[in-house]
Amino acid sequence: MTSVLTEPKARQTRVSLPVFRSDFMADAHEASADKRLQTAMDNSVTKRDMGRKTTLAELPDANALRELAGQIKRHTLDHLDYYLELLETNVKKQGGQVHYAADSQQANALIVEIAKRTGSQLVVKSKSMVSEETELNDALTEAGIEPLETDLGEFILQVDHDHPTHLVMPVVHKNAADIGHIFERYFKTDFTDNAQTLAEMARVHLRNRFNEADLGVSGVNFAVAETGSIVVCCNEGNGRMCVSRPRIHVALMGMEKLIPALDDLPVFLKLLARSASGQSLTQYSSIVSGARRPGEVDGPEEFHLIIMDNGRSRILAGEYRDTLRCIRCGACLNSCPIYRKVGGRTYGSVYPGPIGALLTPLFNGLEQHKHLPHASSLCGACFEACPVKIDIPKFLIMLRGDQVKAHITPWAERAIFKLWTVGLRYGWTYRLSQIAQRIGMRLLKDKQGWIKNLPPPVNGWTKQRDFPAPAKEDFRTVYKRYRQQQRQAGGH
């Protein structure tokens, strides 16, 4: 198997995901100090995590079901070539068209070409992280075609020229007042922060646009190879509008979204909404199989499925294949103490949180995203939350190892770990290093016995914490003396 390291240089440096921000440490500090962000995260993300646990408990054996879901995804990935061809065959049997896109440029170009050929001027979009990957909106705009987000959260971000910071709750970083001001500017109306009123404003505005739109773009939660169907799960109903009202429907999917058969679908439907938002199912689970049939009054006249690679085949080929199991539920984000603190923007690209810390370096290369594999305390909460059992901590550790092998880590860190290895190798080197450490640390302590300022390059440790100086004597010395005293006293 190849790995990120053994990839030819040209492929390693090819960026697949857009990079919005690149100073992880500065962004993390800023986000941690942002009280509004912290409040928003506490309100939203922790509630979702609790909801997940509550609704998973409804299932006969949630842990075993997650195991099964992971196995189905692994099986599909191991035979992805077969299932892609099966999906294509069955989509075409229903009159749909299938297009393959090697990268985001091709995906965008395909959609632009379909729009141009069908004379589409307005494209309505339901929530799609894959379209964020490709920056589809920019491509459409440059081609003179108007893209319009219809998910409430995505619509707010579009009018505010911002990016989503969560896979499922895109506008989690904004409060009602923020949104009220955004709508005040956009709709040129009086300010309100009433959520129902704000939603109503968006409904009225978007409703008219659905009727004007020529083309609807949706993402794909699952693609069922056996039936040639795609599944779109949503709560608002905009997903249903996008796949039903316009005369052309384009579904854009990452190639890993496949599942083999219709009887696999309940496994994932029962886990997805529970993991994402603590619901037993989303309000609408749509199974779309092509365009409208003869005699049907509504539904699109044409259905196009675009299957995109954009770097996934590199991951498929290597030891990180299981990261492609991800069903983009956001459960790992909701459970992650780091994400809750630093928010989604800090991760710098399309996918935030633990899964983003894995995928972004895998797609774009470790060099550009050095901090992401370390944006984790390895507590394992993400692994416990993941409905398809991606062992995220294990893969993060592997990425850290890849960084070391590629000499991407700071020289000082490598030097310290080298010294540490030497110190741990033999008993005498260990004792010697302990003596040296004790002497050195005790020189740094203050009158109360605390070390508050370590010198560079380890001064980062004491920027935000103090720790006690080592004791005068180490345990071995104390224990040796204790044993001597015992022997002298006639003990063992």
Partner 1 sequence: MAAELKKIDLLDDDARRESFLSTIRQALGHDAKSPSPKPDSRPIRSERLLRQVESDSPQLVNRWIEKARGNGMTVVESTFSRAAEPVIEFLMAHKARTLMVNFSSNPAPAIEEKLVSAGYELHHWGDADCMKQAFKCDASLTDCRYGVADSGGFLVWSDPKFGRSSTLTTAVHIVLLPKRLILADLIDAMPKILSDNNGQMPSNAVVINGPSKTGDIEMKLVTGVHGPKYLCAVILGD
Residues 221-260 that bind partner 1 (CB under 8 A): 227-229, 235-238, 240-241, 243-245, 255, 260
> Which residue among 215, 250, 258, 269 contacts partner 1 (CB under 8 A)?
269
Other beta carbons within 10 angstroms of residue 473's beta carbon come to: 12
Per CB under 8 A, the list member of 12, 32, 92, 262 interacting with partner 1 is 262
The structure tokens 């079901």 sit at 65
> In the window 58-77, what residues touch partner 1 (CB under 8 A)?
58-61, 64-65, 68, 71-72, 75
* x/- letters, 113..142, toward partner 1 (CB under 8 A): xx--x-----------------x--xx--x
Nearer to partner 1, 324 or 355 (CB): 324
In whole angstroms, how close is the CB of 34 to partner 1 at the nearest point? 16
Number of residues that bind partner 1 (CB under 8 A): 114
By CB under 8 A, residue 291 contacts partner 1 = yes
Binder of partner 1 out of 263, 301, 413, 466 (CB under 8 A)? 263
Q: Give the whole-angstrom CA distance, residue 196 versus residue 173.
A: 19
Span from 191-199, 343-351, 354-362, 414-422 in contact with partner 1 (CB under 8 A): 191-199
3-state DSSP assignment of residue 254: strand
Any contact of residue 284 with partner 1 (CB under 8 A)? yes
Beta bridge partners of 474: none
Closer CB to partner 1, residue 40 or residue 451? 40
Residue 349 is given by DSSP the state B
Distances (CA, A) of 244 to 154, 292, 301, 378: 19, 9, 10, 44
Rounded to a whole number of angstroms, the distance between the first and last alpha carbons of the chain is: 57
Q: Which is nearer to partner 1, 60 or 455 (CB)?
A: 60
Say how far apart CA 291 and CA 176 lie, in whole Å.
38
Q: Determine if 283 is a binding residue for partner 1 (CB under 8 A).
A: yes
Report which residue type is found at 89: T
Among 226, 233, 323, 228, CA closest to 270: 233
Whole-angstrom CA distances from 64 to 53, 58, 389 are: 15, 13, 10
Subset of 150-179 contacting partner 1 (CB under 8 A): 150-153, 156, 169-171, 175-176, 179
Q: Which amino acid is at 279?
A: Q
Is residue 35 part of the contact set for partner 1 (CB under 8 A)? no
Determine if 295 is a binding residue for partner 1 (CB under 8 A). yes
If you ran DSSP here, which 8-state letter would residue 374 be given? G
